[in-house]
Amino acid sequence: MNRRYRKTIIAGNWKMNKTLSETKAFAEAFKPMLGRPRWCDVVLCVPAVNLQPAIRLFKDSRVSIAAETCHYEPSGAYTGEISAEMLKDIGVKYVIVGHSERRQYYNETDLTVNKKVRAALEAGLKPIVCVGESLEQRELGVTMELIAYQVKCALAGVSAERVRHVVFAYEPIWAIGTGRTATAQEAQEVCETIRAIIRKLYGARVARGVTIQYGGSMNPQNAFELLAQPDVDGGLIGGASLKPDQFMEIIKAADQD
């Protein structure tokens, strides 16, 4: 983390978990624990059907609500989809773009990621752009090239003014839901690379202001060491964000003086 130049953001990604009543129970347990973090912004990414209730439930708290994906067109004949504008209109603040599960199961490509990033920014949402390599790609030694490609594709056509509103999340696919975390050094190396690419594209001032998270089996035990790395500015947390006490422990690790 480097709190002088950029925000620390701890975001929970609930994926396809929690009914409305479970969302209410989480809010009741979590809000009193949270209080007012000094340094870190807290985000919860929830299933589309629970966005509006979550916005109401967390209205009087420091939690921002995020969507897990959006469509890249503002409106039109796209059955089942939700546009960035619609999300913005109900009070959503962030949207995840290009999560590896969406790349893997729903044909999300670097091209659609780019379109979604631009659509989100156009609508006034902050995209949380996920990038990351598979185990095979890491073993082939192409991680940094792949990350550079994903970051450049995501940002094509995005102005320096707007890139300030983009958050990146480095999520190695082999670490997601597996209990196997990247070492703090591995996470730092890739987050540093992401920042170096942004620096090449937009200059040093812009690059040092961009929040870059790590995601992949982050938990209360490993959060502190990961977040202590200079280019790891937060976390995108799956499993451990479903339990109020575990999520809170990670926030505490990010919020220490």
216 binding ligand 13P? (CB under 6 A): yes
Give, for 51, the enclosing helix (H) or strand (E). helix 51-57
Q: How far apart are CA 100 and CA 186, in angstroms?
A: 18
| Residue owning tokens 């701890």 | 10
SS3 10: strand
Q: Is 43 in the site for ligand 13P (CB under 6 A)?
A: no
Residue tagged active-site, from 85, 133, 171, 186: 171
Question: Which is closer to ligand 13P, CB of 80 or CB of 179?
Answer: 179
Annotated catalytic, 71?
A: no
Could you tell me the two tokens for 240? Answer: 């451990």
Q: Which is nearer to ligand 13P, 176 or 251 (CB)?
A: 176
If binding is defined by CB under 6 A, does position 226 make contact with ligand 13P?
no
DSSP percent split of the chain into helix, strand, coil, nearest 5 = 45, 15, 35
Residue 79 DSSP symbol = T
- Our CB check for ligand 13P shows the closer of 6 and 15 to be 15
Distance CA 77, CA 170 (A): 33
Tell me if residue 99 is catalytic. yes
Q: Give 112 or 246: the residue with its C-beta nearer to ligand 13P.
A: 246
Q: Say which residues have a Cβ less than 8 Å from residue 134's Cβ, sequence separation at least 6.
A: 173, 174
Structure token digits, residue 70: 């959006």
C-alpha–C-alpha distance, residues 193 and 195, integer Å: 5
Among 236, 248, 250, 254, binds ligand 13P (CB under 6 A): 236
Q: Please, which residue, 85 or 101, has the CB nearer to ligand 13P?
A: 101
Q: Is 127 near ligand 13P (CB under 6 A)?
A: no
Residue of the chain from 85, 171, 186, 233 that contacts ligand 13P (CB under 6 A):
171
Nearest residue by C-beta to ligand 13P? 238
What's the DSSP call for residue 174? G
Q: In the set 86, 197, 223, 237, which binds ligand 13P (CB under 6 A)? A: 237
Of the candidates 71, 99, 108, 133, the residue annotated as catalytic is 99
Q: Please list the active-site residues.
A: 99, 171
For ligand 13P, the binding residues (CB under 6 A) are 13, 99, 171, 176-177, 215-218, 236-240
